[in-house]
Amino acid sequence: MDIVERVKAILLKPAETWPVIELEPTDTARIYKEYLLLLAAIPAVASFIGLSLIGFGGFGMSFRVPLLAGLGNMVVSYVLSLVMIYVMSLIANALAPTFGGEKNALNALKLMAYGSTAALVGGIFSLLPMLSMLGLLAALYSIYLIYTGIPVLMKAPASKAAGYTAVLVVCGIVAGVMLAAASALFGGGRGMGTMMGDGSPNMSIKVPGAAVSIDTAKLEQAARKMEEAGKRMEEAQAKGDTAAASKAMSEMFGAALGGQGGKPFPPDELQKFVPQTLGGLERTELEVRSDAAMGMNISSVTAKYQGSDSSLDVKLQDIGSVPALAMAMGVWTQSTVNRETAVEVERIFQRDGVSFKEEYRKDGSRSEMTMMLANGILLEFEGRNVDMDALRTAASRVDVKGLAGLKRAK
């Protein structure tokens, strides 16, 4: 496939291009590797450049998303956009009979993949946040592309294509909100990424000192799991069993996000590592949680320590049970950074199998430390009116070796 010619054809001549797409012999992995993995990088990378390197603002003020957070958001938005397209293809396939069409999983994926072209290419406008409205217009054109492709690929009568499209848009908004909520859990990294392919079934996102690899050969396996969950969701909906339908949808999202990497550590087990006093401060608040959403299960413990004029927040999160989450939040862990200005310092380094990220102001007004353990436990310390030396001393009172020694059950 000539990706440039395909983009031009579907944007400028959709009516003539959809029949060509319908007859093309392909599969899920090829659609992703030869088309989506490349196009989906456009909005992700452009947004990173626009928000973290160029910045945005008004009234004489300028703002930039920190580079670490910006890179993390880039990786997450990239992965979730690929997930979103597949989820929407499952929905499009399930809706086909409702609008007099024919179910065809591959055609549904073609519809959403190539129909999303305008929105993905329009992501280039994210380079300048002030032009983001043009990106919205491009997304609206994608709705038109899907509308023109429905009669060809899903065999729905042209008279029902508008209703079919409208329902897809509504479902897309709902799915988008759910995925946006999931992406809020993710953290960031540092540096600019590049997309690389080596002729193998893999595509990689290269960042300074690290690589995030996407194995397209495993897409078929994930696709089968998602399809099975989709069928269970349809059956549950037909029976009016909303609980079973909700569970099946969670399984579908879970498969799309890479499945589980083992059972999460029980939150009460993590709580044992949060002492009553830390750094000379008394613990005033404690929250122990176990959350499950969209196939993800996450345990966390949050504690607040308060003094007369200083405070310390501590958070333990078990993210190792969700591979996609661990990948996004740990993208910085293989980097090495040593940056210092007149007022603040940032360092990323590795020691004894633990990755550390330190950020602090030299006047002692703010200090932060993050540790990523090999078993997927993330520790975060944030001090206000606590200098970095005091924060390190407080963090050393937490039994990190004990946490690192926890073994995850499969």
Task: Give residue-wise pLDDT tens across range 115-167.
Answer: 999 989 888 887 776 666 677 778 888 988 999 999 999 999 988 888 888 88
Shared-domain flag, residues 252 and 272? no
Kindly state whether residue 410 falls inside one of the protein's structural domains: no
* Per-residue confidence (pLDDT) for residue 263, from 0 to 100: 80
Shared-domain flag, residues 183 and 320? no
Shared-domain flag, residues 229 and 365? no
* Per-residue confidence (pLDDT) for residue 69, from 0 to 100: 66
Instruction: Quote the DSSP letter at residue 404.
Output: H
* Per-residue confidence (pLDDT) for residue 126, from 0 to 100: 76
The proportion of the chain whose per-residue pLDDT surpasses 70, expressed as a percent, equals 70
Bigger pLDDT: 172 vs 363: 363
Shared-domain flag, residues 62 and 202? yes
Kindly state whether residue 279 falls inside one of the protein's structural domains: yes
Kindly state whether residue 261 falls inside one of the protein's structural domains: no
Q: Which two tokens stand for residue 378?
A: 């993330």
Compute the average pLDDT of residues 39-54.
79
Q: What residues make up the domain containing 86?
A: 3-256
Q: CA–CA distance from 111 to each of 43, 115, 160 (Å)?
A: 20, 5, 16
Terminal-residue alpha carbon distance, the chain = 41
Answer yes or no: is pLDDT of 92 > 80: yes
Are 56 and 126 in contact by the 8 Å Cβ rule? The answer is: no
Q: Which of 214, 234, 256 is the last residue of a domain?
A: 256
* Per-residue confidence (pLDDT) for residue 196, from 0 to 100: 36
Kindly state whether residue 262 falls inside one of the protein's structural domains: no
Shared-domain flag, residues 280 and 149? no
Residue 152's φ and ψ, nearest 5 degrees, are -80, -50
Shared-domain flag, residues 199 and 308? no
Shared-domain flag, residues 202 and 279? no
Q: Which of 256, 290, 306 is the last residue of a domain?
A: 256
Answer yes or no: is pLDDT of 319 > 90: no
Answer yes or no: is pLDDT of 360 > 70: yes
Shared-domain flag, residues 211 and 305? no
Which among 182, 153, 183 has a CA at the least distance from the CA of 168? Answer: 153
Are 288 and 267 in contact by the 8 Å Cβ rule? The answer is: yes
pLDDT band of residue 314 (cuts 50, 70, 90) is very high
Shared-domain flag, residues 94 and 207? yes
* Per-residue confidence (pLDDT) for residue 205, from 0 to 100: 38
The CB-side HSE value for 49 (13 A sphere, CA atoms) comes to: 14
* Per-residue confidence (pLDDT) for residue 227, from 0 to 100: 56
Q: Which of 235, 256, 277 is the last residue of a domain?
A: 256
Which stretch of 62-76, 136-150, 196-210 has the lowest confidence by average pLDDT?
Answer: 196-210
* Per-residue confidence (pLDDT) for residue 87, from 0 to 100: 85
Cα 31 → chain centroid: 20
Residue 263, number of CB atoms within 10 A of its CB: 13
Kindly state whether residue 18 falls inside one of the protein's structural domains: yes
Compute the average pLDDT of residues 287-301.
74
Answer yes or no: is pLDDT of 356 > 90: yes
pLDDT band of residue 305 (cuts 50, 70, 90) is very high
- For tokens 């960031």, the residue is 188
Shared-domain flag, residues 208 and 350? no
Alpha-helical regions (H) of 116-218: 117-121, 132-153, 161-183
Give the C-alpha separation, 86 to 110, whole Å: 10
Amino acid present at 19: P
Alpha-helical regions (H) of 218-322: 219-239, 242-256, 267-271
Which among 69, 349, 356, 52 has a CA at the least distance from the CA of 188? Answer: 69
Average pLDDT, the chain: 78
For the chain, what is the domain count? 2
